[in-house]
Amino acid sequence: MKKELKEGMRDGIPIGLGYLAVSFSLGVAAKSAGLTAFQGFIASLSNNASAGEYAGFTVIAANAAYLEMALMTLIANARYLLMSCALSQKFAPDTPLKHRLLVGYDVTDEIFGITIARPGPLEPYYTYGAIIVAAPCWAVGTALGVIAGNLLPLRAVSALSVALFGMFLAVIIPPARKNRIVALFVLVSFLASFAAANLPLVSQLSSGTRTIILTVAISAVAAALFPVREEEEAVA
């Protein structure tokens, strides 16, 4: 076995364990949107995205238009666009297309993190090692969440349903601590989202549509008022 593949698998184990727990709560969300365990498994295996899948399940639950699903997926996963842009700069220029296509399968916060943190040009086999271990955990955890969401007492489901939000907080709070502008806009987003959920007219829109509108508007205002310098982007 290639040395890089082995190293990747080793680093993929803690990621996989975390995935197993968090995707379980995603499975609970999938179940309440009406998905079967098999559909939850397929969704996770083909998406590898926490926020994106969660957002997608809210669209399914609302029986909203396919166009809304497309827009929602685009917005909720926009950060992967940014990560892939960053990763594109790390590939050796002569890297064959097949490696670019395969690495693109699983650009998540964690896989991106360990891939970009590894010194030198991107080594695809290292990333594959981590993916082989972590991606099945994500899919299996989701299926288990759909199944066991039924068997668990309501109290336990209630507790597990915040695991996903905990993960979101773990992604946004550390950069907010380092960067006051990010902290400001996290706060603005909380307030605007709360207002949009309660104001007349706006609250009639589906939660997915509200998320899309708020994300585009707030991010555009932030980008116009506080354009980032190169060195700040490194923390993203």
Partner 1 sequence: MKHNIYVYLGIMAAITYAIRVLPLTLIRRQIKNRFLRSFLYYVPYVTLAVMTFPAILESTQSPVAGAAALAVGIIAAWCGAGLFPVSVSCCAVVFVLELFII
* Closest among 231, 219, 232 to 184, alpha carbons compared: 219
- Which of 7, 147, 206, 226 is close enough to bind partner 1 by CB under 8 A? 226
> What is the spatial distance between Cα 27 and Cα 149, in angstroms, rounded to a whole number?
8
Q: Is 53 in the site for partner 1 (CB under 8 A)?
A: yes
Non-local CB neighbours of 109 within 8 Å, separated by 6+ positions: 79, 83, 171
- Which of 13, 92, 199, 223 is close enough to bind partner 1 by CB under 8 A? 223
- 211-217 contacts at long range (C-beta below 8 A, 24 or more positions apart): 211/55, 211/72, 211/75, 211/76, 212/71, 212/72, 212/75, 214/189, 215/75, 215/78, 216/75
Taking CB under 8 A as the binding criterion, the range among 4-12, 133-141, 142-150, 225-233 that sits at the site for partner 1 is 225-233
Taking CB under 8 A as the binding criterion, the range among 1-9, 91-99, 134-142, 144-152 that sits at the site for partner 1 is 91-99
- Residue 55 exposure: Cα atoms within 13 Å on the Cβ side: 24
Site for partner 1 in 157-176 (CB under 8 A): 158-176
Between 1 and 227, whose beta carbon lies closer to partner 1?
Answer: 227
How many of the chain's residues bind partner 1 (CB under 8 A)? 105
**What's the distance, CA 175 to chain centroid?**
16
Block residue for tokens 């926490």 = 50
Q: Is 78 in the site for partner 1 (CB under 8 A)?
A: yes
- Which of 9, 27, 31, 77 is close enough to bind partner 1 by CB under 8 A? 77
**8-state DSSP, 152:** S
**8-state DSSP, 228:** P
Instruction: Please tell me whether residue 121 adopts helix, strand or coil conformation.
Output: coil
Site for partner 1 in 16-45 (CB under 8 A): 17-18, 21-22, 25, 34-35, 39, 42-43
Site for partner 1 in 112-141 (CB under 8 A): none
- Which of 152, 186, 202, 205 is close enough to bind partner 1 by CB under 8 A? 186
Between 4 and 91, whose beta carbon lies closer to partner 1?
Answer: 91
CB atoms near residue 3 (< 10 Å): 11
Question: What token pair was written down for 25?
Answer: 């709560």
Between 11 and 77, whose beta carbon lies closer to partner 1?
Answer: 77
Instruction: State the nearest-atom distance from the C-beta of 12 to partner 1, in Å.
Output: 14
Taking CB under 8 A as the binding criterion, the range among 2-10, 51-59, 127-135, 139-147 that sits at the site for partner 1 is 51-59
- Which of 26, 37, 49, 133 is close enough to bind partner 1 by CB under 8 A? 49
Q: Is 13 in the site for partner 1 (CB under 8 A)?
A: no
